């Protein structure tokens, strides 16, 4: 309706302008005579076309044609007989009027299309979930949407002395990012900055907001940069959520480390007590069996704690691998040494087939053995007593392949890929649950993948057993010699003066009793200050020192002893519930010769002491 009224008004103005043209031409007849009789109607055409487009322009042309023919072309006051030379004038006038009207109509249409495009662009920009601003080549904002308004200034912040203090970004070294390297400035130099750079923006009220800023250059038809598009995304919630998650993750890691420490501390005296009972050689079969049960359950608890910590390290990409050339046969022997008591207890038959020639891989032998141990432990756990477990190793297509097959509960084909998910135990395993946290297979897969290996599972169905296959690329160079067996007790030259420092009284007393039973003279201390005093008074040959002590930490005790005269010659072994990589680094920096994580079997302790004494005093 409004447009119709506007066009009607344009027609009326065109008619009025044509009438005024007639009056003006009459008034000037004495001056111009017969010259340019139709020229006064051209402004009327322009006015009509400008106000209303093609229709009013043609309408003014029609009025001018009729009025000019009647009033100003010979013969005057007639519309019938027109002189030939006047007809030519009339044709030129009509053609010119039509062309003028058409050109102005095209201009109006182009303007309307531009207005529609701008309206659509404005609508799109207003609905975008990010702030968008257009910069001209001088760095001034010429267009911004609603979400850009809280951040925008007349010029891009990197060139505004006030705004530059409100925005802070940091380079890869943690230092402030130079404003010349901010996205808008770089885009005006022809660079695209995407993904964006994180900024901390401070508004006039002092409130901080995190935003990601990206920018791309705009170029003209010659490829010259004539502006830039700047996009700002409010990431404050994301950033704060990430910070909250990081803090929750840090607390989780701290909790797991503390949990492991608190679980290991009571396990240490239990293991010491078991070792004492074993060395006393009880004749009662029930006591021997009970001692073995306690020992096995301690091992089980230790593996659960270690698995939990390994999961935490892997998820944070902080698990350190130490790859070296190692024979697959050596890794198999390490895994069997750990799992064989479980297999023997269930009277299961173990069939092992290994190649005669060494098959070497480049892997962390401890982590490779850990992955294989989890597979063997599951094969035993989910198989009935007196069934058969088969372990074979071979070389195939340039890969070392270790396969473990059992006659256990098996699984459905569709359950295969899910077995390696975190906390997954399979539908069938719930019917034959033997404990566990459901992280062993996930951990084994990640350990193999981190070393460039693979692990696969197959089964013919529930009740038909399982087959797990581990693979690693063959390494053609010679493997390192296998580590010494862990079960043998090499013994210590007796008698030694041993100082045991542990705030856990049971842990200290049981370890002291175990050492005394092998002929050594032992004293105990239960805090840091007492440890330093006992070192001066007792003059030990070796110190076994806990780290988490009251009053003074084990780190500080070690540093103080090392600072004394002759303190550099004292072998000091850390035996603690703290076993994270950071704990090991700190103990090495403090001057410890070895770092053992509770509970420690006696053979491992003896080897650590012997190595520490050899390093400090020579063989």
Tell me the pLDDT tens digit for each residue of 494-530: 689 999 999 999 999 999 999 998 889 999 999 999 9
| Confidence band for 148, pLDDT divided at 50, 70 and 90 | confident
pLDDT of residue 560: 94
Burial bucket for residue 85 (CB in 10 Å: 0-12, 13-18, 19+): exposed
**Is residue 598 pLDDT above 70, yes or no?**
yes
Three-state SS for 435? coil
Q: What is the CA radius of gyration of the chain?
A: 45
pLDDT of residue 431: 39
Quote the distance between the C-alpha of residue 534 and its chain's center.
Answer: 49
Three-state SS for 367? helix
Q: Among candidates 425, 432, 421, 387, which has minimal Cα distance to 405?
A: 387
Contact 271, 279 (CB under 8 A): no
Tell me the average pLDDT of the chain.
84
The CA–CA distances, whole Å, from 556 to 118, 350, 456 equal 71, 49, 48
Provide the CATH topology of domain 249-314: Helix Hairpins (1.10.287)
pLDDT of residue 348: 94
Rounded Cα distance between 405 and 438, Å, is: 19
Q: In what order do the strands lie in the sheet with 542-545?
A: 521-525, 497-501, 542-545, 572-576, 594-597
Per-position DSSP letters for 66-129, written without gaps between them: HHIIIIISSSTT-SS---HHHHHHHHHHHHHHHHHHHHHHHHHHHHHHHHHHHHHHHHHHHH-S
Structure tokens given for 334: 């390490």
Tell me the pLDDT tens digit for each residue of 91-137: 888 898 899 989 998 998 888 888 888 788 777 777 777 888 888 98
Q: How many residues does the chain have?
A: 619
pLDDT of residue 486: 43
Helix axes 365-381, 440-450, angle to 10 degrees: 150
Q: What b/e string do you get for 440-464 counting C-beta neighbours within 10 Å, with b at 16 or more? A: bbbbbbbbbebbebebebebeeeee
Q: Among candidates 232, 264, 193, 195, which has minimal Cα distance to 502?
A: 264
**Is residue 400 pLDDT above 90, yes or no?**
yes
pLDDT of residue 430: 42
Provide the CATH topology of domain 497-617: Rossmann fold (3.40.50)
Rounded Cα distance between 616 and 277, Å, is: 32
316 vs 225 pLDDT, higher one: 225
Three-state SS for 572? strand
- Residue 4 φ then ψ, to 5°: -65, -40
Structure tokens given for 539: 């003059």
- Residue 60 φ then ψ, to 5°: -65, -35
Residue ranges per structural domain of the chain: 2-125, 129-234, 249-314, 324-473, 497-617
Owner of token pair 């480049």: 362
Three-state SS for 467? strand
Strand ranges (E), 128-207: 131-136, 141-144, 167-168, 193-202
Contact 332, 372 (CB under 8 A): yes
Specify the CATH superfamily of domain 129-234.
Answer: PAS domain (3.30.450.20)
Distant-in-sequence, close-in-space partners of 219: CB < 8 Å, separation ≥ 6? 225, 226
Distant-in-sequence, close-in-space partners of 477: CB < 8 Å, separation ≥ 6? 325, 360
- Report the Cα–Cα distance between both ends of the chain, in Å, rounded: 108
| Confidence band for 436, pLDDT divided at 50, 70 and 90 | low
Per-position DSSP letters for 287-300, written without gaps between them: HHHHHHHHHHHHHH
Instruction: Please indicate, yes or no, whether the overall pTM of this predicted structure exceeds 0.85.
Output: no
| Confidence band for 538, pLDDT divided at 50, 70 and 90 | very high
Check for a shared fold between 129-234 and 497-617.
Answer: no
Tell me the pLDDT tens digit for each residue of 57-86: 888 888 888 888 777 776 777 766 566 777
Quote the distance between the C-alpha of residue 243 and its chain's center.
Answer: 13
Give me the architecture of the 324-473 domain, per CATH: 2-Layer Sandwich (3.30)
């Amino acid at each position: 309706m409004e447009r119709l009224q506007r066009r009607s008004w344009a027609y009326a103005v065109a008619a009025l302008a044509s009438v005024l043209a007639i009056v003006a031409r009459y008034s000037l007849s004495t001056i111009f005579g017969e010259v340019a009789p139709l020229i006064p109607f051209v402004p009327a055409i322009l006015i009509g076309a400008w106000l209303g487009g093609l229709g009013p322009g043609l309408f003014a042309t029609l009025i001018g044609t009729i009025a000019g023919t009647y009033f100003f072309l010979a013969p005057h006051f007639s519309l019938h007989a027109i002189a030939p030379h006047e007809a030519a004038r009339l044709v030129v006038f009509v053609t010119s009027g039509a062309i003028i009207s058409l050109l102005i109509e095209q201009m109006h249409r182009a303007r309307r299309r531009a207005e529609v495009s701008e309206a659509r662009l404005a609508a799109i920009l207003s609905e975008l979930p990010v702030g968008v601003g257009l910069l001209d080549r001088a760095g001034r904002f010429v267009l911004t949407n609603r979400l850009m308004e809280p951040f925008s200034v007349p010029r891009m912040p990197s060139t505004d002395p006030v705004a530059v203090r409100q925005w802070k970004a940091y380079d890869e070294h943690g230092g402030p990012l130079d404003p010349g390297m901010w996205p808008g400035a770089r885009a005006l130099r022809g660079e695209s900055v995407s993904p964006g750079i994180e900024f901390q923006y401070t508004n006039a009220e002092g409130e901080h907001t995190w935003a990601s800023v990206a920018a791309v250059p705009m170029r003209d038809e010659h490829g010259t940069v004539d502006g830039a598009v700047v996009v700002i995304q409010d990431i404050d919630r994301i950033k704060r959520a990430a910070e909250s998650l990081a803090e929750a993750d840090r607390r989780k890691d701290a909790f797991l480390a503390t949990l492991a420490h608190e679980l290991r501390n009571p396990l240490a005296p239990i293991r010491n007590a078991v070792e004492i009972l074993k060395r006393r050689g009880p004749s009662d079969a029930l006591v021997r069996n009970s001692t073995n049960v306690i020992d096995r359950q301690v091992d089980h608890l230790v593996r659960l704690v270690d698995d939990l910590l390994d999961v935490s390290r892997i998820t944070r990409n902080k698990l350190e691998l130490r790859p070296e050339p190692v024979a697959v046969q050596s890794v198999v022997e390490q895994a069997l040494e750990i799992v064989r008591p479980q297999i023997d207890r269930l009277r299961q038959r173990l069939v092992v087939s290994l190649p005669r020639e060494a098959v070497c891989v480049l892997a962390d032998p401890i982590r490779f053995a850990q992955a294989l141990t989890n597979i063997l432990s599951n094969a035993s756990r989910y198989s009935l007593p007196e069934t058969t477990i088969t372990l074979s190793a071979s070389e195939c297509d340039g890969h070392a392949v270790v396969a473990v097959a059992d006659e256990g509960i098996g699984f459905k084909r569709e359950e295969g890929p899910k077995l390696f998910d975190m906390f997954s135990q399979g539908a069938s395993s719930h019917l034959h649950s033997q404990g566990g946290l459901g992280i062993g297979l996930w951990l084994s897969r990640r350990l193999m993948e981190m070393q460039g290996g693979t692990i696969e599972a197959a089964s013919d169905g529930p009740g038909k057993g399982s087959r797990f296959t581990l693979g690693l690329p063959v390494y053609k160079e010679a493997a390192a010699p296998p580590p010494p067996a862990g079960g043998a007790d090499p013994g210590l030259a007796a008698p030694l003066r041993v100082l045991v420092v542990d705030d856990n009284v049971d842990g200290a007393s049981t370890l002291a009793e175990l050492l005394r039973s092998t002929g050594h003279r032992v004293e105990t201390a239960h805090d840091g200050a007492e440890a330093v005093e006992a070192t001066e008074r007792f003059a030990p040959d070796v110190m076994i020192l806990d780290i988490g002590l009251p009053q003074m930490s084990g780190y500080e005790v070690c540093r103080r002893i090392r600072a004394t005269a002759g303190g550099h010659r004292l072998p000091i072994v850390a035996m603690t519930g703290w076993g994270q990589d950071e704990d090991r680094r700190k103990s090495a920096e403090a001057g410890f010769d070895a770092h053992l994580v509770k509970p420690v079997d006696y053979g491992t302790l003896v080897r650590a002491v012997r190595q520490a004494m050899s390093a400090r005093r020579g063989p």
